[in-house]
Amino acid sequence: MPSAPGTAAWPVTLTTRRLALRPVAAADVPEIARLWTDAEVRRHLGGPVADSVVRIREKRCVGAPGAFAVARRRGRAVVGLVTVEHGARDGRTEVSYQLLPEHWGRGYGREAVAAAVSWAWGDAPSGAPGVVALTQQANLRSRRLLEALGATVDGTFVDWDEPQVLYAFPVPPAR
């Protein structure tokens, strides 16, 4: 698959102490698709995605530049998905993240997002204005994660009838 703008180095694998972030493989699709249909994961993301949209996403996610399957290094189980999209928000790079609920509460989110943000800074086209993440105001787990990584509130607005908070990462976070 050709590289998208700003993902010149793709395919890429990032490793952290406990995790590997790597391109989505066909074998990952059942676990990744669960992220789009699980009511708990989708609680602050607009609810479960329609079946027809899931089918399209299942095809598009395999090998897609900037879409990282997050897997445990030990045992290799897929625990979630982190996406890095250059130029997505006011020219800034947007990082999004979702973990399967059985893997919440172990610090995997922070570990994976920190690695993705560091990569996003390094991979962004020169002169790119920064790296951001968007979350619902009510999504306290997500906000704690972002604030633990040093992200600060850059703006608030209402979208899809829900208050949203845009966070900016002022510097690449420590890993």
Ligand X SMILES: CC(C)(COP(=O)(O)OP(=O)(O)OC[C@H]1O[C@@H](n2cnc3c(N)ncnc32)[C@H](O)[C@@H]1OP(=O)(O)O)[C@@H](O)C(=O)NCCC(=O)NCCS
The residue ranges that bind ligand X (CB under 6 A) are: 41, 44-45, 96-99, 104-110, 135, 139, 141-142, 144-145
User: Which CB, 118 or 139, lies closer to ligand X?
Assistant: 139
Nearest approach in angstroms of CB 111 to ligand X is 7
Q: CA-to-CA distance for 81 and 35, rounded, in angstroms?
A: 8
Minimum gap (Å) between residue 75 Cβ and ligand X: 16
**152-159 and 131-136 as β-strands: parallel, antiparallel, unpaired?**
unpaired
- The H or E element spanning position 56 is helix 51-61
Q: Which two tokens stand for residue 115?
A: 């690695």
CA pair distance 10, 120, nearest whole angstrom? 12
Q: Give me the DSSP letters along 137-157.
A: TT-HHHHHHHHHTT-EEEEEE
Residue of minimal Cβ distance to ligand X: 107
* Minimum CB distance to ligand X, residue 85 (Å): 11
| Residue closer to ligand X (CB basis): 8 or 159 | 159
For the CB of residue 126, give the shortest distance to ligand X in the complex, in Å. Answer: 27
Q: Residue 8 or 102: which CB sits closer to ligand X?
A: 102
Closest CB to ligand X among residues 3, 156: 156
Quote the least distance from Cβ 39 to ligand X, whole Å: 11
Cα(84)–Cα(86) distance, integer angstroms: 6
Closer to ligand X at the Cβ: 1 or 159?
Answer: 159
Task: Give the Cα separation of 114 and 123 in Å (integer).
Answer: 14
